[in-house]
């Protein structure tokens, strides 16, 4: 699990809270917070949650040294629905059986007409729906000096059977 974060303690805490079921089931082996201007409060949240903090310039080493063969990338403030653990376990099983594409994104939440209309005029970020991808694919896509969100742009991905509530803007 990798989250790029600035001075966003409250959104980071909201995201980390939804990861607990995945840690219990063994899907989340580590959480790395990429320091993009962490303030004292955000650093404290990451530290108290047991996250490793890495510098933004260390992305190649971070990806290569990540525990596990799969990476999940999230924006701070994104909250996963309770069924996310089962959805990812199912997806990993499907990929092991040969399903393509291997990368996956969460489904957007159901929303009312007002929220839908507001979203029409907002450009969504590349990590708005999160991204699950094999570490080998992430390393192959990585370009020097690029941010985590740049890694997620243009990735062909299937939709997971779990929703994500993107961070509020």
Q: Give tens-digit pLDDT for 37-93.
A: 999 999 999 999 999 999 988 888 999 999 989 999 999 999 999 999 999 999 999
The total domain count for the chain is: 1
State the residue for tokens 């991905």: 157
Q: Chain centroid to CA 14: how far?
A: 13
Q: Which two tokens stand for residue 10?
A: 């409250």
Tally of CB atoms within 10 A around 23 = 17
Please state, in angstroms and rounded to a whole number, the distance separating the CA atoms of residues 92 and 81.
18
Q: Which residues pair with 104 in a beta bridge?
A: 132, 158
Please state, in angstroms and rounded to a whole number, the distance separating the CA atoms of residues 93 and 85.
12
State the residue for tokens 């924006």: 75
- Which residue segment(s) compose the domain that 57 sits in? 2-165
Q: What pLDDT, on the 0 to 100 scale, is given for residue 30? A: 95
Element (H, E) at 72: strand 70-74
pLDDT at residue 137 is higher than 60 = yes
Task: Evaluate whether 96 touches 134 at the Cβ level (below 8 Å).
Answer: no
Question: Whole-model pTM?
Answer: 0.89
Mean pLDDT of 122-151: 87
We report the CATH number of the domain holding residue 134 as: 3.90.550.10
Distances 146 to 8, 60, 133, 137, 141 between C-alpha atoms, Å:
21, 10, 17, 15, 10
């Amino acid at each position: 699990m990798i989250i790029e974060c600035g001075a966003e303690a409250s959104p980071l805490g909201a995201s980390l809270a939804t990861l607990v079921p995945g840690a219990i089931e063994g899907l989340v082996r580590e959480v790395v917070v990429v320091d993009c201007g962490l303030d004292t409060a955000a650093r404290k949240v990451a530290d108290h949650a047991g996250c490793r903090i890495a510098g933004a310039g260390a992305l190649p080493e971070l990806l290569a040294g990540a525990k596990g063969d799969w990476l999940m990338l999230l924006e701070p403030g994104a909250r996963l629905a309770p069924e996310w653990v089962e959805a990812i376990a199912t997806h990993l099983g499907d990929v092991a059986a040969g399903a393509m594409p291997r990368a996956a994104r969460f489904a957007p939440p159901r929303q009312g007409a007002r929220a839908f209309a507001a979203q029409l005029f907002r450009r969504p970020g590349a990590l708005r729906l999160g991204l699950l991808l094999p570490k080998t694919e992430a390393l192959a896509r990585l370009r020097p000096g690029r941010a985590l969100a740049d890694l997620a742009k243009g990735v062909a991905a299937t939709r997971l059977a779990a929703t994500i509530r993107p961070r509020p803007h």
